């Protein structure tokens, strides 16, 4: 061993230079840090142990000649074990490297993986001296080289972005076109059949449920379940071995090959990332990484009782991003995924938890400022889930410029309007046109593309189940149906769950088409939940986080109705592309631009007249129209752009209606281009002055 050469004290993680590996670890309060080398992921006996050298500011480092990619290693940290100051050092617990680029092996849940005597009397204050090495996964040294060829990021503008949220395994396990050995993997997701499907929809970006290496908590495994969604991360640099061809570094190349394939097809890759908490949980959780390396540095502790954790995640702990080393860890992780893995953006789970200061949430929190100031990260897509698990954590619309936000008020209002709830029309109108009341209030300049619109996502009912179940069906999760949201604004058209009644099925299919059309034709960034375009069902489970089986996997089997819904989704997203000028980053003002015959937005009543203030206050209002118009681009603007006009007619009522059409501004006739009340719509001119609309349907006309 030597300590000079390519290894420097601030070079965190394990880095191979062709002749050996440099190691760097941060622990502010440790008295000693050891590196343990292993030959096998399940081994409890290291083949070599090396004490890292201390440097300034809590850094520990070493350079070991002769090591190569595939080498397994772990960390042991020595120091005080004192609950009240929040120090949990226990050198008998082998730890993952927080900067590990890959992880091998699985956790075998045994009492020895806890720093205290698990289940014993006065457990919290006890100290467990059993070695955990044989029961925990190991970090892996990786080869960082990869041939990216001429692939390059698509850099799709927000105004053209269509996001498709999906799970690596769930998308591929049941697809007959994915080779059997690749199903459930990164390379399987990059199969031509999957890419062709997404391109046919008009998807521009896949948003992957977490792919950082995660572990399933003990209680889940003891119920025969697992953390399928992956929201219990433990290694922020490591692609999850669940989705790889091997766990000795193959994870990295497999992920890179997937990104390369998506970029070659012109699609971006966005990662759902979980930096708010880890799988180590609360004070009674296991010691696997951060807790044993430096508990009081990496986690937020209760200032009054430091044996307790501040929990803004609902998962037992919260990372302490106000500490410079922890903030650096997260920023380094983000930069790694952009620079070395070529991802195009991130969706930050429980973003409010990342944006807290000692006084609470702040749009000027160090994390937000650091990301926006970073020359690399500030140029990728940044999407935040604008809430956390606390009563005061809901902050929709409060994040700074440059951040898009998941808009759950869009989700809830769209559902309630089409369900037929009273008094929803006015708010629905705002959601349809970009939610300016949320993102442009108090003089702020954020535009409609700050809103990521969705009707369904991984968390909750699928689109099919949304219109099939009025109540959740989560019994398979083993939590007595107490988990998952209880208020879903869902409906069943008179029959709960599956049915053979054709009238009910017909209404449910119409509802799905109408919701897809609403999403596609709303201002903002549309996000589809993977499989909704195929009528995917989870049998009423609205919290399938632990269901790694057919409940969660997309069903690709052929079927007339399934293909009919897919065809409709393709048509309505093609319509959005065709009228792309209507979905740019400008709010509608309800006024006519100079020299234009039409206002940019006119709201219409069922009788064809313009809406008035009293009309909006009518709680029984279920039917309305929206006439959108964008003027032709001026000289110097987008070449070839021309005026675009679209008339949306919406009938959320329970009766058929005839909507009287306004005069066609061109002097010609309106053309019907889409009708969600029909399985198929042939584009044609309308002969009369009114349109007959079925209940719960949306009609689109143009000139």
Residue whose entry in the numeric block shows the structure tokens 């897809």: 516
If 0-12 CB within 10 Å is exposed, 13-18 middle and 19+ buried, where does residue 200 land?
middle
Name the β-bridge partners of 646.
628, 702
Asked if 97 and 52 count as a contact pair (C-beta separation under 8 A), the reply is: no
85: how many CB neighbours lie within 10 A of its CB? Answer: 13
Residue 261, SS3 per DSSP:
helix
C-alpha distance from residue 359 to each of 301, 333, 365 (Å): 15, 26, 10
Residue 254 is a catalytic residue: no
- CA atoms of 602 and 651, how far apart (whole Å): 17
Residue whose entry in the numeric block shows the structure tokens 């919406």: 650
* Dihedral sign of CA atoms 207, 326, 106, 47 in order: positive
Burial 678-692 (b: 16+ CB within 10 A, else e): ebebeeeeeeeeebe
Name the β-bridge partners of 87.
82
Dihedral, CA of residue 56, residue 60, residue 61 and residue 62, to nearest 10: 120
Q: Which of 250, 385, 532, 675 is catalytic?
A: 385
The token duo for 582 is 């209507």
The phi and psi torsions of 633 (rounded to 5 degrees) equal: -65, 145
- CA atoms of 291 and 90, how far apart (whole Å): 9
Asked if 567 and 598 count as a contact pair (C-beta separation under 8 A), the reply is: no
Residue whose entry in the numeric block shows the structure tokens 């030959």: 39
Q: Which of 250, 311, 349, 388 is catalytic?
A: 349
Residue 40 is a catalytic residue: no
The token duo for 83 is 């609950």
- CA atoms of 349 and 270, how far apart (whole Å): 13
Asked if 62 and 53 count as a contact pair (C-beta separation under 8 A), the reply is: yes
* DSSP letter (8 states) at residue 609: P
- CA atoms of 196 and 198, how far apart (whole Å): 5
* DSSP H or E stretch at residue 297: helix 290-298
* DSSP letter (8 states) at residue 95: B
- CA atoms of 462 and 466, how far apart (whole Å): 6
If 0-12 CB within 10 Å is exposed, 13-18 middle and 19+ buried, where does residue 287 land?
buried
CA 618 to chain centre: 37
- CA atoms of 693 and 462, how far apart (whole Å): 26
- CA atoms of 338 and 459, how far apart (whole Å): 26
> Which of 626, 608, 623 has the alpha carbon at shortest distance from 417?
623
110: how many CB neighbours lie within 10 A of its CB? Answer: 15
Interstrand relation of 360-361 and 381-384 (parallel, antiparallel or unpaired): unpaired
**HSE-up (13 A, CA, CB side) for residue 478:** 11
Asked if 36 and 71 count as a contact pair (C-beta separation under 8 A), the reply is: no
> Which of 64, 70, 57 has the alpha carbon at shortest distance from 25?
57
- CA atoms of 204 and 156, how far apart (whole Å): 7
Name the β-bridge partners of 161.
none
- CA atoms of 211 and 239, how far apart (whole Å): 6
Residue 280, SS3 per DSSP:
coil
Name the β-bridge partners of 528.
164
Name the β-bridge partners of 205.
163, 268
> Which residues belong to the active site?
349, 385
């Amino acid at each position: 061993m030597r300590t000079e050469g390519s290894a420097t004290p601030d070079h965190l993680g394990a880095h191979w230079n062709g002749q050996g590996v440099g190691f760097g670890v941060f622990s502010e309060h440790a008295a000693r840090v050891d590196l343990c080398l292993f030959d096998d992921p399940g081994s409890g006996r290291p083949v070599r142990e090396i004490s890292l050298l201390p440097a300034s500011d809590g850094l520990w480092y070493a350079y070991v000649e002769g090591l190569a990619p595939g080498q397994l290693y772990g960390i042991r940290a020595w120091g005080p074990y004192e609950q009240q100051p929040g120090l949990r050092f226990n050198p008998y617990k082998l730890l993952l490297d927080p900067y590990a680029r890959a992880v091998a092996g699985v956790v075998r849940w045994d009492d020895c993986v806890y720093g205290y005597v698990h289940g014993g009397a006065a457990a919290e204050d006890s100290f467990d001296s059993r070695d955990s090495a044989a029961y925990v996964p190991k970090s892996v040294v990786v080869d960082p080289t990869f041939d990216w060829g001429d692939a390059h990021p698509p850099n799709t503008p927000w105004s053209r972005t269509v996001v498709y949220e999906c799970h690596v395994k769930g998308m591929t396990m049941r697809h007959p076109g994915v080779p059997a050995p690749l199903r459930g993997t990164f390379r399987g997701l990059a199969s031509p059949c999957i890419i062709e499907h997404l391109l046919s929809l008009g998807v521009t970006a896949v948003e992957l449920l977490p792919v950082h290496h995660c572990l399933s908590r003990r209680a889940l495994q003891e119920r025969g379940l697992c953390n399928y969604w992956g929201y219990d991360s433990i290694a922020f640099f490591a692609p999850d071995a669940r989705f790889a061809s091997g766990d000795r570094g193959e994870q990295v190349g497999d992920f890179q090959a997937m990104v390369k394939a998506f970029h070659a097809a012109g699609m971006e890759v966005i990662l759902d990332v979980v930096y708010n908490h880890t799988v180590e949980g609360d004070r009674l959780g296991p010691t696997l990484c951060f807790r044993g390396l430096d508990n009081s540095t990496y986690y937020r502790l209760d200032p009054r009782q430091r044996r307790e954790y501040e929990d803004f995640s609902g998962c037992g702990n919260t990372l302490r991003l106000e500490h410079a080393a922890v903030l650096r860890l997260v920023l380094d992780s983000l930069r790694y995924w952009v620079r070395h893995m070529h991802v195009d953006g991130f969706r930050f789970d429980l973003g409010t938890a990342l944006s807290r200061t000692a006084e609470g949430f702040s749009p000027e929190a160090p994390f937000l400022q650091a990301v926006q100031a970073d020359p690399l990260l500030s140029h990728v897509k940044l999407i935040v889930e604008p809430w956390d698990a606390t009563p005061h954590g809901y902050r929709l619309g409060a994040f700074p410029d440059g951040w898009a936000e998941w808009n759950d008020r869009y989700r809830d209002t769209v559902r309630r309007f089409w369900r037929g709830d009273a008094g929803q029309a006015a708010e629905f109108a705002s959601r349809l046109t970009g939610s300016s009341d949320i993102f442009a209030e108090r003089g702020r300049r954020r535009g409609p593309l700050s809103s990521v619109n969705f009707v369904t996502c991984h968390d909750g009912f699928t689109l099919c189940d949304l219109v099939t179940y009025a109540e959740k069906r989560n019994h398979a999760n083993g939590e007595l149906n107490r988990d998952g949201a209880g208020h879903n604004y869902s409906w069943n058209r008179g029959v709960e769950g599956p049915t053979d009644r054709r009238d009910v099925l017909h209404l449910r299919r119409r509802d799905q088409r109408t919701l897809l059309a609403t999403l596609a034709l709303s201002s903002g960034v549309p996000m589809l939940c993977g499989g909704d375009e195929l009528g995917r069902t989870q049998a009423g489970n609205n919290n399938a986080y632990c269901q790694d089986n057919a409940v969660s996997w997309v069903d690709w089997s052929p079927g007339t109705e399934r293909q009919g819904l897919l065809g409709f989704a393709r048509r309505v997203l093609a319509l959005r592309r065709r009228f792309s000028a209507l979905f740019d980053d400008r709010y509608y003002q309800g006024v006519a631009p100079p020299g234009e015959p039409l206002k940019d937005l006119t709201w219409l009543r069922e009788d064809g007249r313009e809406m008035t203030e009293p009309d909006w206050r009518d709680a029984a209002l279920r039917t309305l129209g929206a006439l959108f118009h964008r003027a032709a681009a001026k000289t110097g603007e987008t070449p070839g752009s021309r005026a675009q006009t679209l008339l949306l007619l919406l009938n959320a009522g329970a009766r058929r209606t005839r909507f009287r059409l306004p005069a066609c501004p061109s002097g010609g006739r309106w053309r019907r281009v889409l009708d969600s009340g029909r399985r198929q719509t042939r584009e044609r001119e309308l002969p009369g002055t009114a349109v007959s609309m079925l209940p719960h349907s949306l009609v689109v006309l143009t000139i």
